[in-house]
Amino acid sequence: MESRAKALGHPIHPMLIVLPLGLLIAAVIFDVMYFITDNSTWSIVAYYDIAAGILSGLLAAVFGLRDWAAIPSGTRAKSVGLLHGVGNVVVLLLFAVSWWLRRDTPDHVPTTFAFILALAGLVLGGVTGWLGGELIYRLGVGVEPGAHLDASNSLSGKPAATPAKQRVI
């Protein structure tokens, strides 16, 4: 099933998820660095990483919702996509509460509870990431019909089903 929202021939949602994923993972790593070193620079960076991760995650969600809406009802992909999307909203909410709990602390130092929420968000993000992989690699969501190893460049204007050359095996 081909993605509805594309840029230069490629689905937008998978391109956008890299930024919030990296920012939120880095925030948890920076929290751990703060706890190890007691250097508040790490907690400040984690605080701003979470804010940027939430905002960029919301942007990615808009394109994910658009793609999900195009999946036919009654399919396994529709239900997996729903779990993926709702799970990622919960991930963003966990990080948002963690961020909110840090806002008034000196140097945005995380409380134990704020750190646990971020860690829970990270673990749940691993599950929802797996579900996203299931959608693409197992269920073919976002994959252009006819995609194959010798498909033409996405900028060529040709459909993927038209082989660029024949491969002899």
At 56-111, the pLDDT tens digits run: 999 999 999 999 999 999 999 999 999 999 999 999 999 999 999 999 998 999 99
Q: What is the pLDDT of residue 163?
A: 59
**In terms of pLDDT, which residue wins out, 141 or 117?**
117
Q: Would you place residue 166 in the very low, low, confident or very high pLDDT band (cuts 50, 70, 90)? A: low
> Residue 162 pLDDT more than 70?
no
For 130, the 3-state DSSP assignment is helix
Residue 25 lies in domain: 6-138
CA–CA dist 41, 53 (Å, integer): 18
pTM here? 0.88
Over pLDDT 70: what percentage of the chain?
94
* 167 within some domain: no
Task: State how far the Cα of 34 lies from the Cα of 2, in Å rounded to an integer.
Answer: 43
Number of helices and strands (H, E) in the chain? 5, 2
Which segments of 38-138 does DSSP mark as H helices, in order?
40-69, 76-102, 112-133
Q: Is 87 within the bounds of a domain?
A: yes
Residue 57 in any domain: the answer is yes
Q: Is 150 within a domain?
A: no
Which pLDDT does position 142 carry in this prediction?
Answer: 80
* Domain membership flag for residue 151: no
- Domain count for the chain: 1
Interior angle at CA 51, CA 132 and CA 93, nearest 5: 55
Residue 19 inside a domain? The answer is yes
Tell me the helix, strand and coil percentages in the chain, rounded to 5: 65, 5, 30
Residue 55 lies in a domain: yes
Nearest Cα residue to 121 out of 82, 90, 81? 90
Residue 166, in any domain of the structure:
no
**Residue 167 pLDDT exceeds 70:** no
